[in-house]
Amino acid sequence: MRYLVTGGAGYIGSHVTLALLEDGHDVTVLDNLSTGHRAAIPTGARFRHVNLADSAALDAILGETHWDGVLHLAALSVVGDSMKSPFHYIRQNMLTSLNLIEGCVRHQIMRFLFSSTAALFDDNNTTLLSETSPINPSSPYGESKFLIERSLKWADRLHGLRYGCLRYFNAAGADEQGRLGEDHRPETHLIPLAIDTALGRRPLLRVAGNDYDTLDGTCIRDYIHVSDIAKAHLLVLARLDEKSVTYNLGTGKGFSNLDVIRTVERVTGQSLPWTWCPRRKGDRAILITDPSRIRKELGWRPRHTEIESIIETALRWRLRHPDGYGTPHKDAYQRI
């Protein structure tokens, strides 16, 4: 199959691109490199430097050959930033996605896989979140993703575009062979920040909020290995031959911020200096999914179900790439 992957130079997008290539597909990555890295695009994938807001340039690519499907992972995705710039987030994520959806309909590309989020669920729901749980986004980021999901439903209803919405919980970890990893600039995710602090690359880790309604007062999250997310994409693409679908991607287990800190200390063998800082606007206390639908319908089973395993792969990547996508260190695996 021939696929387009938007945001394929990013963290999740690069892992999805790698999974597609290893499954024998022809892949072209579309990315403007505003947050992604050219070096993150796996060998074998074609690359087109394009801004999805440029509808003319995007339309030319969509119409230049036959595409079997589009995987849309490009977006502004930092919850805290969306609380500071709500209209920018909603406008940017909606405009680029609508350009892509309309282009697919125009060129009869009838399979569309969308990277959504768990940030669209209602903040008052304290149970495991299923695909039918109430939706009420607590941030403009989550709102933008929900609006895109609604647009895809209309594209299906009116034009026959079969779509898959994958609602990620907390993506973490790195490719087990050390080929790809997490390199956000600036970094906002807890696991890479904690690892860098334990390795002495950051002086102090700031933990946002200790007054949540949880056992230790910190946020609880369902961490899912990025390669398990990539595997789910392959399964859902095949499902789109039959119908449109929506799935939550997670393990069904929750770990608090303090759980993560203690696990990073255990895995690295290093004490991790940290302190409290105020809550981040838009953060929910608990986000844990019920992954039973995708398990039942597609047989998806994550390989990494324990936080230790996820953190170990992230640590290997960081040791091998201390500067992100810079010079690799060949002895990294022998140093942990």
Using CA atoms of 106, 107, 108, 111 in order, give the dihedral in degrees to the nearest 10.
-100
Sign, CA dihedral 183-228-101-130, equals negative
CA-CA distances (angstroms) from residue 207 to 106, 186, 192, 239, 322? Answer: 47, 16, 13, 40, 22
Strand 220-221 and strand 255-256: pairing? antiparallel
Is 333 an annotated catalytic residue?
no
**Catalytic residue of the set 11, 141, 168, 212:** 141
Look up residue 129 and give its two tokens.
Answer: 């979140």
Look up residue 119 and give its two tokens.
Answer: 């940030």
Contact 314, 332 (CB under 8 A): no
Spacing of C-alpha 140 from chain mean position: 17
What's phi and psi for 260, nearest 5 deg?
A: -65, -45
Please identify every residue annotated as catalytic: 141
